[in-house]
A and B are shown apart, each in its own frame.
Chain A
Amino acid sequence: MIVNDIEVMFGGQAGDGSLTTGDLIAGVFKHMGLEVYTYKDFPSRIRGGHTNYVIRAGTTPNLGMADFVDCLVAFDLEAVEVHIDEMRPGGFVIFDSSQEKLTDAVRRPDVFFYEVPLAKIAKDEIGLELVRNTVSLGVLGRLVGMDREIVLRDVTSVYKRKGEKIIDLNIRAIEAGAKYVDDHFDHPSGYELTTGVDRDRLIMMGNDAIAYGALVAGCRFMAGYPITPATDVLEWMAKYAPKYGGVVIQAEDELAAINMVIGAGFAGVRAMTSTSGPGQALMTEAIGLAGVLEIPIVVIECARAGPSTGMPTKTEQSNLNHLIFSGHGEIPRVVIAPGTVEESFYLTVTAFNIAEKYQVPVFVLSEQALCQSKATLPSLDVAAVTVDRGKLERNGHLKFGEYRRFAFTEDGVSPRAVPGTEGGMYLAPGSEHNDRGVITENAGNREKMMEKRMRKLESMRPDLPKANVLGDTTAEIAIIGYGSNRGPIVEAQDRLASDGIPTRFLQMRTLWPFPEEEVRAFIKGASDVFVVENNFTGQLERLIRYVVGPLPHMRSVLKYNGKPFRPIEIMEQIRAVGAARRALEV
């Protein structure tokens, strides 16, 4: 019997309503006091094509994917064919047997199949085939012991907008599903959920947390171009920003979006855009402009599998090089990466403060497996947020002729006047310029100006988000990673530890300017360093070598098939090296 730990996968065709039911299940798990993580594995189309939605529930926070699928709710045979090999031995499948029959080829002796005519029950008993998803929820709930009261309450709240009739249909669908289990099966599922306390927590998608963080940080201008998986940020802001006096523009392309953000930043408004790889590529030239004009901007990068169109709805961490190194010429820039939904909120706030305090472009790097995933988190401490506007000139004491917009300062940051400020008029040119903004190609000025701008990378160090060091800090095996991999790495650590293999984990949160000292201190004394990331070339691992130097005991743990890591995939590689070492010692 597995108690309070389950991964449910909803598999079927895109557009069949499994998203709503998946969200509903996630909510039920949350309200039962469990920790939840969801992962959407959708095709890049609106209707049709195999899709699945994973809901992971357990008792430790910041989960990711589990090793295996515990329960597959399969609305067609294809879902079983595609996912049967991902099932945990002892797991179970709820199969909609209304139309298709299970073939022997897809069966596994260690997986139990509950064959339930979901669509038929929905059609015959409820009178609406569409509610077969809800029937499956009734089946699942009965099999794993979902709290019936919570289920009914959540169904009522989810369908509230659609009226009493729809609520009633769905409640009857749940009851019909549960009754079918009682009437037809004696076989226990092997899973049991117990209801705990759901106190002061939220369930939120990464992109919503980013947008919420931006609003609270004072972002009042956003321009963006719809692109998966970043569009949620644009939509969230379009809904909320106007209520707080802000404005959101859907631009004609990413070139316009980023230039609008720069324009708003020039005018003194906290501004951002959200995009993904292809849009990021188009924004590259203008980000150099923001760097040289010392205009604060925030760019939310929700990474997906590239190159070119790649796999728009799949996850990948292959844009790190691009964020750090893209662009002609050299500018100070910042790349920070949250590893949880909670961090997505707080680090976005940090991004705005760093951007304005140091007058630089700041990237918040997320990825599909984090930004479009929902997770449980403690309530956000909105009152603790502070807004630091840095050297913004607002006192009206500027004297034209004396004011130097690009003044050479010790920390590299110059007093910033915005339009409307008396005495602050200046030219902001993308061309190299002197401290007043006058274009010049003078060699001495060029050196001083480059040094002034790049000096900010050092002066900002105290304000950059520190890495999280997790696990056993004295362990010889060290793991480095960032972003959504925090979840599976921490889970792998816990299980390796219980197998007698302690590990330490550096969850990097600032990726540029590269925290050299942080990484050096972390790897000191390590026998092995594993760098876990979702790409082919090991971009973070190469970056560490580029900055820290050759590390013969460092190796990559890579995955680049568009799906997030499962803990076992990380554990196996670490365990193999551990075993080899022990063999040598013997």
Chain B
Amino acid sequence: MATTLTAKDFATTTPSWWCPGCGDFGVIASLKQAAADMGLEPKNTAFISGIGCSGKISGYFHSYAFHGVHGRALPVATAVKLANKDLTVIAAGGDGDGYAIGAGHFMHAVRRNPDVTYIVMDNQTYGLTKGQSSPTSALGYVTGTSPAGNPDAPINGLAVALAAGGTFIARGFSSEPKAMTELIKAAIAHPGFAIVEIMSPCVTFNKVNTYKWFKENVYHVTDIPDYDPRDRAKAFDVLTQAGKIPLGIIYTEIRPTLEALTIKDAPAIAGLDIETADARYAGIQEAYR
């Protein structure tokens, strides 16, 4: 049955709603390529997204896809993985979905460490509602909801993830497809919660953080001599220092996954026979005599 799939096999027939030039096109292309390279099967892949331009992505990836409510992709993805640990589970969202309305879940998904890959497409603005400031918008960023300039300091999602106990922290840029595909593959291969933040410019509303701006403001951690992604202190340093934005695998470590700590070696829950009554059921009530 192991026919080799190509990136095209992970495409759907659904036409895209994204604007021409949107950074998210690069993300879906890399995701499909990564899935093909890793030999994923659509039937055994669950792809969970939230709301916003980013949330549309689940409709463009051939799999068991779930496009839920705003900000809650991670609880859904965590539960899908627990319900059927044999699945490859990928979640995706934007900076608003993940770092604003879903920020609470983000931190807790990180600390639980389920084997889920989480792609955050960061365009530093709210695209689908037409260009308001987002949790990653720069201080002073002028929008319809911040006409005097955004008064809120931007959140550093990857630093938050590191502080919360993240086990795989990476960042890509949507005009670097090859590097992005490799990051996504490494994230899927990582046994634990893997976050890949992708700088994904909004060509319609964000006139500050453009492709050109990013090209001038990113660098690769692999360019740092002797950079070791297992060095937590160094990773924190890199993530929080002012100046250019680091790309690549910034931090990685191995610790037990949520499934390993809860389900252990037991079979996938979704495959259990619940129709045949367990012989032990009746005995439970003996404690209530």
Contacts and interface: CB of A to CB of B under 8 A. Distances in A.
Interface of A: 201-204, 208, 212, 215-218, 220-221, 223, 240, 242-247, 249, 251-253, 255-257, 259-264, 266-271, 285-286, 289, 293, 379-380, 382-383, 385, 387, 389, 417-431, 438-439
Contact of A256 (B86, B105, B269, B275): B105
Contact of B274 (A212, A218, A383): A218
Contacts of A389: 275
Nearest to B281: A382
B275 A221 contact: no
Given A215-B284, A419-B84, A430-B67, 17 more contacts: A201-B289, A218-B274, A243-B280, A245-B263, A247-B82, A247-B269, A257-B75, A260-B78, A263-B77, A266-B64, A267-B79, A267-B83, A268-B270, A285-B69, A286-B68, A382-B277, A425-B65
24 contacts: A201-B289, A204-B288, A215-B284, A216-B281, A217-B274, A220-B274, A221-B82, A247-B82, A253-B104, A255-B72, A256-B104, A264-B79, A264-B82, A266-B64, A266-B76, A267-B270, A268-B83, A269-B270, A382-B282, A389-B275, A419-B87, A420-B86, A428-B64, A428-B68
Contact of A202 (B69, B266, B277, B289): B289
B116 to A, nearest CB: 11
A255 B107 CA distance: 14
B59 A427 contact: yes
A259 B104 contact: no
Interface in B185-236: none
Nearest to A389: B275
Contact of A267 (B62, B87, B278): B87
Interface stretch (B30-38, B40-48, B145-153, B170-178): B40-48
A179 B7 CA distance: 86
Contact of A438 (B59, B107, B278, B280): B59
Contacts of A422: 43
Interface string B240-276: 0000000000000000000000110011011110110
A420 B84 contact: yes
B43 A421 contact: yes
A267 B75 contact: no
B285 interface: yes
A346 B176 CA distance: 58
A223 B79 contact: yes
A25 to B, nearest CB: 16
B108 interface: yes
Contacts of B72: 255-256, 259, 286
Contact of A428 (B66, B277, B282): B66
A429 B274 contact: no
Contact of A221 (B45, B51, B86, B269): B269
B261 to A, nearest CB: 10
Given A256-B105, A260-B79, A269 B269 contact: yes
A381 to B, nearest CB: 9
B63 interface: yes
B262 A419 contact: no
Contacts of A269: 83-84, 269-270
A270 B69 contact: no
Nearest to B258: A249
Contacts of A383: 277, 282
B63 to A, nearest CB: 6
Given A244-B278, A264-B83, A427 B285 contact: no
Contacts of B120: none
Contact of B58 (A251, A259, A427): A427
Nearest to A202: B288
Given A289-B68, A424-B64, A419 B75 contact: no
B269 A220 contact: yes
B3 interface: no
B267 A203 contact: no
Contacts of A246: 269
Sorting the interface of chain B by its residue count into under 10, 10 to 19, 20 to 34 or 35 or more gives: 35 or more
The prevalent SS among residues of A at the interface is mixed
Given A216-B281, A256-B108, A427-B58, A263 B48 contact: yes
Contacts of B129: none
Contacts of A217: 274
A426 B65 contact: yes
A226 B145 CA distance: 36
A261 B79 CA distance: 7
Contact of B42 (A221, A418, A425): A425
A252 B82 contact: no
Nearest to B83: A267
Find the residue from A240, A252, A269, A426 having the highest chain B CB count within 10 A. Answer: A269
B76 to A, nearest CB: 4
Given A221-B82, A387-B275, A247 B59 contact: no
Contacts of A289: 68-69
- Of all A-B residue pairs in the complex, the 7 with the closest CB atoms, nearest first, are A218-B274, A263-B79, A267-B83, A263-B76, A260-B79, A259-B75, A419-B64
A430 B83 contact: no
Nearest to B1: A422
B184 interface: no
A246 B269 CA distance: 6
A202 B289 CA distance: 5
Contacts of B180: none
A244 B283 CA distance: 13
A247 B43 contact: no
A439 B277 CA distance: 40
B29 interface: no
B83 A263 contact: yes
A221 B272 CA distance: 12
A61 to B, nearest CB: 16
A582 B44 CA distance: 73
A539 B177 CA distance: 59
Nearest to A255: B72
Given A252-B108, A260-B78, A427 B266 contact: no
Contacts of A257: 75
Nearest to A211: B284
Contact of B43 (A267, A268, A270, A419): A419
B137 to A, nearest CB: 24
A389 B273 CA distance: 11
Nearest to A383: B277
B162 interface: no
B59 A419 contact: no
A430 B282 CA distance: 40
Contacts of B68: 259, 262, 286, 289, 428, 430
B43 A245 contact: no
Contacts of A204: 285, 288
Contact of B67 (A216, A249, A385, A428): A428
Contact of B14 (A203, A240, A285, A438): A438
Interface string B73-108: 001111110111011000000000000000011011
Contacts of B86: 420
Nearest to A262: B76
A430 B105 CA distance: 19
Given A420-B43, A423-B43, A426-B64, A259 B76 contact: yes
Contacts of B269: 220-221, 245-247, 264, 269
